[in-house]
Amino acid sequence: MENFVKNIKQDIEVEIQRIEQQDIDILDKIKQIVGFIQTSLARLKVTIADYQFINPEEEILFFKVRKPQISGLLIFYIRLYQIERNRIGKSPSAQYKYLKEEYESLKNISSDKNFYNYYQAGKTNSDHLYFMRKHYDILSDVHCHSLDRDTSFSTLHDSSVAEILANKQLTHYLSTEIDALSEKLHLKFTSIIESKLLQWTESKVSLVEFIYALYAGKCFNNGNTNLKEIAFCCETLFDIEIGDFYRIFLEIRNRKKSRTQFLDKLKEKITQMMDELDR
């Protein structure tokens, strides 16, 4: 059995490498990989149906280590397909936010904390209950989503191990992708600043009015951002040095007519643009 499982795993690795080298869409690659792993698991299931384990230790080893290595890979690629599908059409910043949310959600995805702690601690005292088919109990199976679960190819927690392995692989994948996107966004932001792509060509007074409007409207972090932070970001992004923005804001407050001249102008301009687009 050990050699049979080893050969199946090697076949999967070779096929994944072959598929990854194809010049096709990533979703199509994942579909092919999922299909091959499903076929491999089906082969394993047929073999186990006619196989008599030598002793309890061999059965435990199969359902604790060998089967989860393959079924966990299947879970990983199924979830990867969902993640990559949800990234399609999104901007790098939107992808970054989405992947961060997926990364955080993995921390709470384990459906059985007690078993998770048992497995992570490397304990073995309950292995005969968790990884032998004769001790399978449907009432204790957190992974039992249907009534036709095949107990000839399942134990109480082989699926739990597969989930843990899949989550570990997903965590590494998401971490790598998040770091890559972070670097990409940082380089893009740096490029905008260094090339002075967004130079502020209105007056400093107008910019201060704009900054205070953002601050008053609690537009960043639900209002948990101070004026200096907003002003610094605007100065950096728009390549301008504002100076004493508190004094400038005092001048704005002391205006005899409209105290929001710049914001009024913006409102007028966008209304005009929308009216023209409606014609």
Express each pLDDT in 210-267 by its tens digit: 999 999 999 999 888 888 989 988 888 888 888 898 999 999 999 988 899 999 999 9
User: What does pLDDT average to over the chain?
Assistant: 90
DSSP assignment of 153-207 equals: S--SSHHHHHHHHHHHHHHHHHHHHHHHHHHHHHHHHHHHHHTT-S---S-HHHH
Angle, CA of 186, 187 and 188, to the nearest 5°: 90
Q: What is the pTM of this model?
A: 0.73
Sorting pLDDT into bands at 50, 70 and 90, what band is 144? low
Sorting pLDDT into bands at 50, 70 and 90, what band is 21? very high
pLDDT tens digits, 116-125: 899 999 999 9
Q: State residue 84's pLDDT score.
A: 96
Domain locations in the chain as residue ranges: 1-194, 204-278
Mean pLDDT throughout 63-78?
96
> Residues 141-169, buried b or exposed e (16+ Cβ, 10 A)?
beebeeeeeeeebbbbbbbbbbbbbbbeb
